[in-house]
Amino acid sequence: MPVSLSVVIPVYNERRTIEEILRRVLTVPFEKELLVVDDCSTDGTREFLRDYSHPQVRVFFHEKNQGKGAAIRTAIGQARNDVVLIQDADLEYDPGEYGCLVGPIEKGEADAVYGSRFLAGPHRVHMYWHYLGNKFLTTFSNMCTNLNLTDMETCYKAFRREIIQSIPLRSNRFGFEPEVTAKLARRRVRIYETSISYYGRTYADGKKIGWRDGVNAVACILRYHFAD
């Protein structure tokens, strides 16, 4: 049975890409709502979103910068549809692959699906140390959760709405990824992975995650392994 989507789009300083990502998501052939949360952008994104209007798009504004995790949390609390799906506001991930991402949920086989950049899909070849950091964090997370994920840090995650809304989330920045993974594992929900393509950008292109976020992710993995 086809599912409806609540597409969560956290935004911070993405004026160059926000219009295009909204256009791409809106063309995806699913019943959907877009929940856009501006995390106090300073590059014109906020002004663009204040003037933007579409019947399928709801926009929320943070009055101070709180981080990606806080923006995701704001949107999750507003979701109304069957499946909550995370979509970054840049162009690294292809909304045309939503069908693969939500397929296991539609079939009743999964409660959450992770889109892995490291299984088989095409991806940009660059940033070796960033790749190695992702692999380390995924392995360390797997050791704590007893999962066998290949890409814990992926943006593309889809959840049954009632499950993700029942989980108390606290991380404000990029700690959302290890936190939600640990809490899904603790609840023993059915998690699937599917391959996705990945068009990674560089720091010159506007990539924001850095080594400090990697250190924080390690702390989050340990914290949420021992406490919920």
Residue with tokens 């929940």: 35
pLDDT for the residue 131: 82
In a domain, 175, yes or no: no
Q: Per residue in 130-148, pLDDT tens?
A: 788 889 999 999 999 999 9
pLDDT for the residue 126: 67
In a domain, 70, yes or no: yes
Evaluate if residue 205 carries a pLDDT over 80: no
What's the distance, CA 13 to chain centroid? 17
In a domain, 194, yes or no: yes
pLDDT for the residue 61: 98
In a domain, 67, yes or no: yes
pLDDT for the residue 110: 98
pLDDT for the residue 122: 66
What is the token pair recorded at 2? 């086809």
In a domain, 120, yes or no: yes
Domain range for 43 is: 5-126+151-170+190-204
Tell me what the pLDDT averaged over the chain comes to. 92
Number of domains the chain contains: 1
Q: Per residue in 76-100, pLDDT tens?
A: 999 999 999 999 999 999 999 999 9
Sorting pLDDT into bands at 50, 70 and 90, what band is 225? confident
pTM of the model: 0.90
Q: Per residue in 148-194, pLDDT tens?
A: 999 999 999 999 999 999 999 999 887 999 999 999 999 999 999 99
In a domain, 139, yes or no: no
Name the helix (H) or strand (E) containing 213. Answer: helix 211-226
> What are the phi and psi torsion angles at 214 (to 5°)?
-65, -45
Q: Can you say whether the dihedral through the CA atoms of 73, 77, 80, 83 is positive or negative?
A: positive
In a domain, 226, yes or no: no
In a domain, 225, yes or no: no
The CATH number for 91's domain is 3.90.550.10
